[in-house]
Amino acid sequence: MTDTTNAGAPALPTFSTIAMAREGRLLRITLNRPDAMNAVNLALHDELAEALWFAQGDTGSDVIVLTGAGRAFSAGGDLDHIEHNARNPHLFDHEARMAKRIVSTLLDIDKVVVCRLNGHAVGLGATLALLCDVIFAAENAKIGDPHVGLGLVAGDGGAVIWAQRIGLTRAKEYLLTGDLLTAAKAAEIGLINHAVPLEELDARVDAFCAKLLKGAMVAIRATKVLTNLELKRLATALMDAGIAYESVSVRSADHLEGIQALKEKRAPNFTGR
């Protein structure tokens, strides 16, 4: 019998930093810079916006899995790329537009987006994971948004999603300190859904996706849309201000000091400038 599951579906795009594959009606998007722990450089930032835009309208899929290649989900911003932006802050304007597009597209997708958190998710990596609908994490993974540790404002979505997942009080604690959480702690406080042994991660994700794909997809997708309406309202209200504040902090002396301290593996000496 001929398999017509994806008959007429568009061909998957190809990227240098992202791998995409269909498995029946499941679309898998993999951040694919494993040697750099999937740290986000300019190429990955731009290609992620394109990949998510494609996934939103892909007629060949009903459920999306977002994951990372190798040991990490995403280690956040690539340090060389961050330093390049800090020394050429006008370049951040392009990234600001892309960041808004990534956040808005993730919230607009009416398909369930499942995060397979195979390893650490830091900074923008954490934001990407937390904007997914359901998160399964390997129990050895850590998650956190240490923008402030680099002298940056958490303006690329963290201020939108953390409070919605764990409440304002806890969100402030983690965003203002930049502390990382273990997957077990994150599951305990409701930041993520499940922390499981790494060897069980694939089975748990696959079983959950299979359950969704057997469900009433029109109802599931519309329910996802409804539950994201408030998130979209908040993102609309906060993202422009967040990007503006982050843009100011990109130009700060503290940001350059945070980068240098990270490169030298020492504590930063912030001056408030």
Residue 106 covered by a domain: yes
Give the CATH number, domain containing residue 116. Answer: 3.90.226.10
**Cα 130 to Cα 128: distance, rounded to the nearest angstrom:** 6
**Cα 49 to Cα 94: distance, rounded to the nearest angstrom:** 12
**Cα 153 to Cα 246: distance, rounded to the nearest angstrom:** 5
The one-character DSSP state at 157 is: T
Task: Count Cα neighbours of 56 within 13 Å in the Cβ-side half-sphere.
Answer: 16
Question: Which pLDDT score, from 0 to 100, does residue 181 have?
Answer: 97
**Cα 244 to Cα 259: distance, rounded to the nearest angstrom:** 20
The one-character DSSP state at 151 is: T
**Cα 194 to Cα 126: distance, rounded to the nearest angstrom:** 15
Residue 218 covered by a domain: yes
**Cα 190 to Cα 21: distance, rounded to the nearest angstrom:** 30
Please, which contacts does 251-257 make with residues 24 or more away whose CB atoms are closer than 8 Å? 251/86, 251/89, 252/151, 254/151, 255/86, 255/150, 255/151, 255/152, 256/86, 256/87, 256/151, 257/151
**Cα 241 to Cα 31: distance, rounded to the nearest angstrom:** 28
Residue 71 covered by a domain: yes
Segments of the chain scoring below 50 in pLDDT: 1-3
Question: Which pLDDT score, from 0 to 100, does residue 4 have?
Answer: 54
Exposed / middle / buried, residue 29 (Cβ in 10 Å: 0-12, 13-18, 19+): buried
Structural domain total, the chain: 1
The one-character DSSP state at 191 is: S
Residue 34 covered by a domain: yes
Residue 205 covered by a domain: yes
Q: Collapse the DSSP code of 30 into the 3-class scheme (helix H, G, I; strand E, B; otherwise coil) and give the result.
A: strand
CA distances (Å), origin 236, targets 119, 172, 244? 30, 20, 13
Residue 131 covered by a domain: yes
Residue 268 covered by a domain: no
Whole-model pTM: value is 0.94
Residue 11 covered by a domain: no
Pure H helices in the chain: 42-57, 79-87, 92-108, 124-130, 158-166, 168-177, 183-188, 198-213, 217-250, 253-263
Domain that holds residue 60: 18-263
Question: Which pLDDT score, from 0 to 100, does residue 93 have?
Answer: 82
Assigned token pair, 89: 């802050």
